[in-house]
Amino acid sequence: MYNKVYVEITNICNMNCSFCHGHKRAPKRMTADEFSVVLDKLKEQTRFIYYHLMGEPLTHPLLPDFIKMAGEQGYKSIITTNGTLLKKRGEELLSSGVHKVNISLHSFEEGTEEDHRKYVCELSKFAKCAVEKGTIVVFRLWNEGFDGGKNEVALDVLRECIGGEWKENTRGIKICDKIYLEWGKRFEWPDSEAEIRGDKYFCYGLKDQFGILSDGTVVPCCLDSDGVIKLGNIFEEDIDTILNSKRATDIVEGFRCGKASEDLCKRCGYAQRFV
């Protein structure tokens, strides 16, 4: 089984962050029937569904229903969000039984300091409510070198509003039970027009993860924002057939040997982090 599958329930976002590659696809939200097909076909593939590739999952009106549907079939649901809609939709999200919420604090790094403090304070309130419901919250600061001084503001507010132990671990910091902070480098999205990067590559795409875009297109990883590497469509084909296709197996075998069979992968900085 795969460690996780990224399911893009919508490619629509309410923000336009500088670090985000964006996409050129038509706006799309999965319907309940489409999401039901995805759940049925992923039963033997994973137990963890991440509601993200592009788009902000909290813009989807059926998100709580989707999480409940997934839970009824034994899946654990993890969402990644910019956090701006949690004040409005946080309660219904937690009531749906979401397993974990990743909050990208770097999504708001371009606002004023006053707005930034207010934003992080609201997210701190959500995190404390989440803990009471048994939901894990991970604050992400994946913006090394690009924070513009905002990271210290965020950390000050988190300490003030949450308190906690603040114990370092291998991934970042454990603030308190079920609330964590993760650091990360800002990565460059792969782009078909970018330069080729080196000659050795490795990626966990199709090794412990793959993605499904909102129109059903299956892609090898969470960074193929435009569906350049189309392996098939989950609404039209059997998922085992898609994952065992020649194109998919060539990708896996290539990375096993330190090579990239796809042109987009040769232009991905992330595929060189592990070589």
Q: How do residues 103-125 score in pLDDT, each as one tens digit?
A: 998 877 666 888 889 999 999 99
> What's the mean per-residue pLDDT of the chain?
91
pLDDT in tens, 28-69: 999 999 999 999 999 999 999 999 899 999 999 999 999 999
170, pLDDT greater than 80: yes
Beta strand spans in the chain (E): 4-7, 48-50, 76-81, 100-104, 136-144, 167-168, 172-176, 179-185, 209-212, 217-219, 232-233
Element of type H or E holding 85: none
Residue among 144, 156, 208, 149 nearest 182 (CA):
144
Q: The tokens 């902000």 sit on which residue?
A: 56
Residues 6+ apart with CB under 8 A from 30: 7, 8, 9, 10, 38, 60, 66, 214
| pTM (2 d.p.) | 0.93
